[in-house]
Amino acid sequence: MKFIPNSSIKNEMLKEIGIKKIDDLFKDIPDEIKIKELKIKKGLSQQETEEKLRKIGCKNKSYSDFLSFIGGGIKPHYIPSVVKNILSRGEFYTAYTPYQSEASQGFLQAMFEYQSIISEMTGMDISNASLYDGKTAVGEAALMCTRINKKSTFLIPSNISWEKKIILKNYTKGSGIKIKEIKYDMKTGKIDINDLNNIIDDNVSGLYIENPNFFGIFEDKVNEINGIVKNNNSLLVCGVDPLSLGIVKSPGEYDADIVIGEGRSLGNAMDFGGSTLGFFASKKEYIRQIPGRIIGMTKDLEGRKSFCMSLQTREQHIRRGRATSNICTNEGLCSLTAAVYLSWLGSNGLYDIGKKNFENGQKLAKKITKINGFEKVFSSVHFNEFVVKCPYVVDKINKKLLERQIQGGLSLEEHYPDLKDTMLIGITELYNDEDIDRFIGTLEEVI
């Protein structure tokens, strides 16, 4: 049965806009492209739909059913029960940022605490209340650098993920920003500093580096890189794995100007790839240029401590010409998750989990390179991911591993032609020696 809520006044409405029938609204659409009839099967009942979806869902396999060692993206991490317990409270369980500060003091305070934690972790002065993900944070950082120093070229390493490159190009399209890539050293996997010196010029607004980088490698010459950037009056943007900050220097310690990253590993579930969390922090002098919003602490009319949105630099709140971003909704629920998770960890816990990830990465690399035909591609120190050369085509190896309930590494050849028959392997604190030995034993079996 057709249902039109305003059917009682339909004729009156048609007369008002000067047409006789509803089809007249679509007369500009050529008849040859109109769809006469949708060939859709007869609809299912609710019960039948649930049964069908359940059967489809059974085809999925959870990471608890498979060991997963794929690098370059989402990896399984341990999520303490306190995270879900707090998140499920009625006051918090919404992904949308509340605008009525007088009615949302608890959530606003949670965002204030989130910002404080991110600032402390990264060694920066300020943090916003989050962005969509780590990839869009790169685009926002490029735009921010250009706003600050009015220069039109943004540098990136050639070995950042292809996904980030695509999103960065979309973000800067139409803005006049030119993206240039810095080569990476084929022996170390780190930025080629000679190439950086050759490419950087007066038009460069900023350089984006990752520490650890996409290959899992730590850039140990960040002070030298920063010196090159600062001597050029450009800005240094650093992308980090937040779990590594428990065991390595924070970007603030080597004078980074902007720090960004993916915060999914901070208590957020994998959730089929989304939603996720982008954190964004910077020096205080750039506070007016930071995208998104910042929650501040103040006092109400009666002198009581209270929280509010201090800066909202988007066009909904200020003149469009002064807006620094069109970010309309931050990842509030994911940010809250990160704040709860990091509060549960504490500084000692962050050190322990960073150490565990590092040690597992070294342990797995050492064992896998003892297998005939496997060798580590880069000589540098890595965190919990690393690149290995395989004895034959990666996809064939991974297919055999999947048959044995193991997800292998990420094939790199498609996007890095020089890295033929290589895979990016990742491991986290979730796996123990028994899991590593099972992976190694299975690899030996399939080759």
**Per-residue pLDDT tens digits for 48-92:** 999 999 999 988 887 788 899 999 988 999 999 999 999 888 778
Rounded to 5 degrees, φ, ψ at 208 are -100, 125
**Per-domain boundaries in the chain:** 7-53, 67-78+349-446, 81-342
Under 8 Å between Cβ of 272 and 256: no
Res 354: pLDDT: 97
* 422-426, strands of its sheet edge to edge: 375-376, 385-389, 422-426, 410-411
Please state the separation of Cα 227 from the chain's center in Å.
28
Q: What is the pTM of this model?
A: 0.86
* Mean predicted confidence (pLDDT) in 385-402: 96
Res 330: pLDDT: 61
- Beta-carbon neighbour count of residue 247 at 10 Å? 17
Res 352: pLDDT: 97
Res 141: pLDDT: 96
Report CA dihedral (118, 123, 126, 130) to the nearest 10 degrees: -30
- Beta-carbon neighbour count of residue 85 at 10 Å? 10
* Mean predicted confidence (pLDDT) in 222-237: 97
pLDDT band at 97 (very low <50, low <70, confident <90, very high): low
Res 341: pLDDT: 97
pLDDT band at 1 (very low <50, low <70, confident <90, very high): very low
Res 431: pLDDT: 94
* Mean predicted confidence (pLDDT) in 9-17: 87
Hey, what CATH class is 81-342 in?
alpha beta
**Residue of 272 and 49 predicted with greater confidence:** 49
pLDDT band at 207 (very low <50, low <70, confident <90, very high): very high
Residue 317 has pLDDT above 70, yes or no: no
Residue 3 has pLDDT above 70, yes or no: no
Please state the separation of Cα 297 from the chain's center in Å.
28
First to last CA, the chain: 61
Rounded CA separation 330/295 (Å): 12
Residue 256 has pLDDT above 60, yes or no: yes
Res 27: pLDDT: 87
* Mean predicted confidence (pLDDT) in 393-404: 95
Residue 418 has pLDDT above 90, yes or no: yes
Where does residue 35 rank: exposed (0-12), middle (13-18), buried (19+ CB within 10 A)?
exposed
Q: 446 in helix, strand or coil? A: helix
**Among 44-53, 177-186, 198-207, 308-317, which stretch is predicted with the lowest mean pLDDT?**
308-317
pLDDT band at 273 (very low <50, low <70, confident <90, very high): confident
Q: Name residue, tokens 């565990």.
A: 356
* Mean predicted confidence (pLDDT) in 421-435: 96
Q: What is the CATH number of domain 67-78+349-446?
A: 3.90.1150.10
pLDDT band at 103 (very low <50, low <70, confident <90, very high): low
pLDDT cut 90: percent of the chain above it: 70
Residue 268 has pLDDT above 70, yes or no: yes
pLDDT band at 147 (very low <50, low <70, confident <90, very high): very high
Nearest CA among 30, 28, 25 for reference residue 10: 25
Residue 95 has pLDDT above 70, yes or no: no
**Per-residue pLDDT tens digits for 338-378:** 999 999 999 999 999 999 999 999 999 999 999 999 999 99
Residue 387 has pLDDT above 90, yes or no: yes
The first and second tokens of residue 153, run together, are: 């070229």
